[in-house]
């Protein structure tokens, strides 16, 4: 399951999508929006066709590199409030060591190469304006999830 969606992520559905008879371990990562002073939510923006393609490729690489049996990644776009899950990654493998390794590697890759950007949204932190004078903290500097 590779999806990018505006609605809340059904974590159980993501987990169930990787279940297999030969999988003895399933590792699940939830990236949640963390509270910060003046931050009420994060706004996620995506280049969807490229993001879907990149996610599909990295899942295949995770399977080859770590022997993962199945991997699903679902990412939210639009506004995600504090405590909301912005990304869910589930990885099934025969044993937990492969599942943990593949999950950690894939999540790092999601943050490194998938074209998704976030901007903090809060009452006293306005969005950047089209005049090129961004007053918000640049999304790239935000270190969550």
Partner 1 sequence: MQVQVRLFATYREIVGAGQLAWTLRDGTTVGQLVDAVLAKYPRLVGHGNSMLLAVNHEVVRSDSILREGDEVALLPPVSGGAR
By the criterion CB under 8 A, which residues form the site for partner 1? 44-45, 47, 49-50, 53, 111-119, 127-130, 132, 134, 138-145
Could you tell me which residues are beta bridge partners of residue 88? 30, 74
Minimal distance, residue 17 CB to partner 1, in Å: 24
Q: Phi, psi at residue 79, to the nearest 5°?
A: -85, 130
Residue nearer to partner 1 on the CB measure, 38 or 57? 57
Which token pair is 102? 């593949």
Minimal distance, residue 38 CB to partner 1, in Å: 19
Minimal distance, residue 27 CB to partner 1, in Å: 18
Residue nearer to partner 1 on the CB measure, 25 or 144? 144
Minimal distance, residue 115 CB to partner 1, in Å: 5
58 vs 63: CA distance, rounded Å: 9
Residue nearer to partner 1 on the CB measure, 50 or 97? 50
82 vs 39: CA distance, rounded Å: 8
The distance of Cα 60 from the centroid of its chain, to the nearest Å, equals 17
Are 35 and 117 in contact, with CB atoms under 8 Å apart? no
């Amino acid at each position: 399951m590779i999806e990018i969606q505006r609605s809340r992520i059904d974590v159980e559905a993501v987990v169930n999508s990787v279940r297999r008879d030969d999988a003895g371990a399933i590792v699940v990562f939830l990236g949640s929006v963390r509270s910060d002073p003046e931050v009420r939510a994060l706004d996620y923006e995506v280049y969807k066709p490229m993001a879907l393609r990149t996610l599909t490729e990295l899942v295949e690489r995770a399977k080859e590199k770590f022997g993962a049996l199945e991997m699903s990644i679902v990412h939210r776009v639009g506004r995600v409030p504090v405590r909301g899950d912005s990304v869910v990654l589930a990885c099934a493998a025969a044993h937990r060591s492969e599942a943990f390794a593949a999950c950690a590697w894939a999540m790092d890759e999601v943050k490194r190469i998938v074209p998704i950007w976030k901007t903090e949204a809060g009452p006293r932190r306005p969005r950047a304006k089209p005049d090129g004078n961004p007053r918000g903290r640049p999304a790239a500097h935000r270190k969550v999830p």
